[in-house]
A and B are shown apart, each in its own frame.
Chain A
Amino acid sequence: MNVFRLTGDLSHLAAIIILLLKIWKSRSCAGISGKSQILFAIVFTTRYLDLLTSFISIYNTSMKVIYIGCAYATVYLIYMKFRATYDGNHDSFRVEFLVVPVGGLAVLVNHDFSFLEILWTFSIYLESVAILPQLFMISKTGEAETITTHYLFCLGLYRALYLLNWIWRFYFESFFDMIAIVAGVVQTVLYCDFFYLYITKVLKGKKLSLPA
């Protein structure tokens, strides 16, 4: 555990909580892509199946349980409790174009051809692109609520901090995981355009809106 890994995890946790609170307090999931949230629920489920087979630490186990619980709670709020506010017409990204290639890649490129390992690999690849339906929705509507941009910033920052964590671990622990690193770079790059808008607009008190 190093400072980048810990702040990365906390940033990830903050993102998840911000989104849950936003939906809960406003009683609305307007502007939120339910498809991205389903993908994240799949990501956590397929990655954390090792909860049943291996114990790493209290920290590790509790964070996994919290992430999974929050992911399903978010999906429940969007598709059940506040379904009437869900903007399905604008959430039109075709997720099969992500899930199918990512599934194929996980079978072809992995550390070990075993059931749990392929699911772990699938979750790493899927996470790297799971935000695309949300970004697609924002580009379609041309705007995002400020609280939604805080969520996206924390979510993007988390993987960027993990990149620093992997650099740290490479130098000080001789540890590296090429699958996680490559997917993590892809994931972080996808946020770069958003980071630019967040810093130049949202942090200066303006609403995030895209030119028509």
Chain B
Amino acid sequence: ADEAAAHDEL
């Protein structure tokens, strides 16, 4: 799995 790059969550 990839680590988060862009934060698309709130």
- Give chain A's interface residues, CB within 8 Å of chain B: 5, 9, 12, 47, 50, 54, 56, 60, 63-64, 67, 111, 120, 162, 165, 170, 174-180
Chain A nearest Cβ from B6, distance in angstroms: 7
A179 to B9, CA, bound (A): 13
CB pair B1–A170 under 8 Å, yes or no, is yes
| Pair count A-B, CB < 8 A | 35
CB pair B9–A174 under 8 Å, yes or no, is no
Chain B residues with Cβ below 8 Å from A162 are 9
A50 to B2, CA, bound (A): 21
Q: Could you say which interface size class chain B belongs to?
A: under 10
- Chain A, interface SS category: helix
- Chain B, interface SS category: loop
Chain B nearest Cβ from A22, distance in angstroms: 22
Pick from B1, B7, B10: contact of A9, CB below 8 A.
Answer: B10
Pick from B2, B3, B6: contact of A56, CB below 8 A.
Answer: B6
CB pair B7–A5 under 8 Å, yes or no, is no
Chain A nearest Cβ from B8, distance in angstroms: 5
A175 to B1, CA, bound (A): 6
| Cβ-closest chain B residue relative to A54 | B6
Some 7 contacts from A to B, beta carbons below 8 A apart, are A9-B10, A54-B6, A60-B10, A64-B10, A111-B3, A174-B2, A178-B3
A178 to B3, CA, bound (A): 8
A123 to B5, CA, bound (A): 16
CB pair B1–A176 under 8 Å, yes or no, is yes
The 8 closest A-B pairs by CB, nearest first: A177-B4, A174-B1, A176-B1, A56-B8, A63-B10, A9-B10, A120-B7, A111-B3
Pick from B1, B4, B8, B9: contact of A111, CB below 8 A.
Answer: B4
